[in-house]
């Protein structure tokens, strides 16, 4: 089975409705309101909850929550990169003290964390299928002037654990217009990340598979890894920087040129930036620079940018930009492929 088919099958399998757990969590707002619910997650300074008598997932401002009580398991991440797994409760305290969340970790170890230090909270489970988050997106752009049509399909999966996470993302674009051959681009990204003992440090392993008819690339494979650090890690933004090594294999194929295969070892310099605004918008920028170590002066640069706006419930509208550049491609081959796409996406999981 092809890699993109595997990702699509997983996304569609996990996206089906899961058996919801008991809605016995309790949150108490600063104005005294008490809500019995299912706490799903915390992200972007937004607490996501599910109430029995309301169809949609509700979004609550984290800063306005005073107390939290839940017997369910959660993965809790703090600003300094420390991660805990356990149930939640808010200890009794006077109004003079900062509000803290008490985490009961097995076996019976209690940890108290100030609420403002918690930047991410995810529901976890003993059932593997209930740990996944992700999205599925579709987009179509049509222009009557030159009879051009662009189709875009995207999907992503994320599997978070206490000290590590794994993710997969697939993006496919098909462009056609009158008088020109259709252009296709398919990319699959795989990533595994594990936190180190030092606060906000991590090491990562990654793999990237790219097909681009514009650049004549039948298959470009890149496998590597490195060490990185979260430079900014709070409720409004996340900025990470990492470096390492990558091995690349590129197979070029065009009708007028025989197939050509190139292998190269490259240094890896990468960065990811995420900016959030309370439950409404999300901007993600991912960039990698790959200076070749086995071929003098050759550099690859990859850029992926996505901007999401929430429309309703789990439905979002997004606009994306992708780009691949190679300053020394083989003769007669293009050194770049870039473009934009727009469409709607449906998120599933604990968001």
The predicted structure's pLDDT at residue 24 = 85
Asked whether residue 205 carries a pLDDT value surpassing 70, the answer given is yes
Distance CA 179, CA 146 (A): 9
Contacts of residue 276, Cβ cutoff 8 Å, sequence gap at least 6 = 43, 44, 45, 235, 236, 237, 282
| 9 class by beta-carbon count within 10 Å (0-12 exposed, 13-18 middle, 19+ buried) | exposed
Minimum mean pLDDT range among 110-114, 228-232, 307-311, 341-345: 110-114
Cis status of the peptide bond prior to 41, with omega within 30 of 0: no
The predicted structure's pLDDT at residue 14 = 46
The predicted structure's pLDDT at residue 7 = 47
pLDDT in tens, 81-97: 778 888 888 876 655 55
Asked whether residue 55 carries a pLDDT value surpassing 90, the answer given is no
Average pLDDT over residues 71-78: 85
Average pLDDT over residues 116-122: 83
- Give the Å distances, CA to CA, from 25 to 98, 117, 194: 22, 21, 30
Distance CA 262, CA 42 (A): 45
Query: Considering only CA atoms, which of 7, 248, 271 is closest in space to residue 135?
Result: 7
The predicted structure's pLDDT at residue 278 = 64
Contacts of residue 269, Cβ cutoff 8 Å, sequence gap at least 6 = 242, 243, 288, 289, 290, 291
- The residue ranges of every structural domain in the chain are 3-10+130-348, 22-124
Q: What residues does 211 pair with on adjacent strands? A: 186
Return the CATH number of 3-10+130-348, one of 2.40.30.10, 3.40.50.1110, 2.40.160.40, 3.40.1710.10: 2.40.160.40
Contacts of residue 80, Cβ cutoff 8 Å, sequence gap at least 6 = 117, 199, 200, 233
The pTM of the full predicted model, rounded to 2 decimals, is 0.76
The predicted structure's pLDDT at residue 99 = 63
Q: Helices in 65-120 by DSSP H: which ranges?
A: none
Asked whether residue 74 carries a pLDDT value surpassing 60, the answer given is yes
Contacts of residue 31, Cβ cutoff 8 Å, sequence gap at least 6 = 64
User: What would you report as the CA-atom Rg of the chain, rounded to the nearest whole angstrom?
Assistant: 23
Query: Considering only CA atoms, which of 171, 206, 173, 178 is closest in space to residue 192?
Result: 206
Average pLDDT over residues 212-227: 94
pLDDT in tens, 287-339: 999 999 998 899 999 999 999 988 877 789 999 999 999 999 998 889 999 98
Q: Who has greater pLDDT, 217 or 82? A: 217
pLDDT in tens, 261-288: 899 999 999 999 998 876 678 899 999 9
Q: Helices in the chain by DSSP H: which ranges?
A: 3-15
């Amino acid at each position: 089975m092809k890699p993109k088919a595997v990702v699509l099958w997983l996304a569609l399998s996990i996206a089906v409705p899961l058996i919801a757990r008991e809605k016995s969590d309790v949150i108490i707002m600063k104005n005294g309101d008490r809500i019995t619910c299912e706490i799903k997650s915390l992200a972007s300074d937004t607490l996501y909850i599910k109430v029995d008598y309301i169809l949609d997932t509700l979004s609550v401002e984290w800063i306005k929550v005073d107390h939290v009580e839940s017997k369910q398991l959660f993965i809790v991440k703090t600003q300094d990169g420390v991660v805990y797994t356990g149930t939640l409760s808010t200890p009794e305290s006077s109004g003079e003290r900062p509000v803290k969340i008490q985490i009961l970790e097995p076996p019976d170890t209690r940890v108290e964390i100030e609420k403002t230090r918690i930047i991410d909270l995810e529901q976890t489970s003993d059932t593997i299928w209930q740990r996944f988050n992700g999205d599925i997106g579709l987009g179509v752009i049509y222009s009557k002037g030159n009879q051009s049509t662009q189709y875009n399909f995207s999907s992503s999966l994320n599997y978070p654990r206490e000290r590590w996470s794994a993710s997969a993302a697939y993006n496919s674009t098909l462009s056609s217009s009158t008088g020109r051959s259709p252009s296709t681009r398919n990319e699959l990204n795989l990533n595994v990340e594990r936190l180190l003992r030092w606060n906000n440090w991590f090491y990562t392993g990654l793999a990237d598979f790219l097909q681009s008819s514009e650049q004549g690339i039948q298959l470009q494979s890149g496998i590597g890894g490195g060490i990185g650090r979260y430079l900014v890690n709070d409720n409004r933004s996340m900025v990470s920087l990492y470096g390492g090594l990558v091995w690349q294999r590129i197979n070029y194929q065009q009708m007028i040129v025989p197939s050509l295969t190139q292998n190269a070892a490259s240094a890896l310099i990468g960065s990811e930036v995420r900016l959030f605004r309370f439950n409404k918008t999300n901007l993600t920028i991912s960039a990698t620079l790959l200076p070749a170590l086995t071929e003098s002066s050759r550099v690859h640069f990859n850029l992926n940018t996505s901007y999401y706006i929430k429309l309703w419930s789990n439905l979002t509208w997004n606009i994306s930009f992708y780009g691949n550049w190679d300053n020394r491609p083989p003769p007669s081959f293009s050194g770049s492929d870039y473009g934009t796409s727009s469409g709607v996406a449906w998120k599933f999981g604990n968001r």
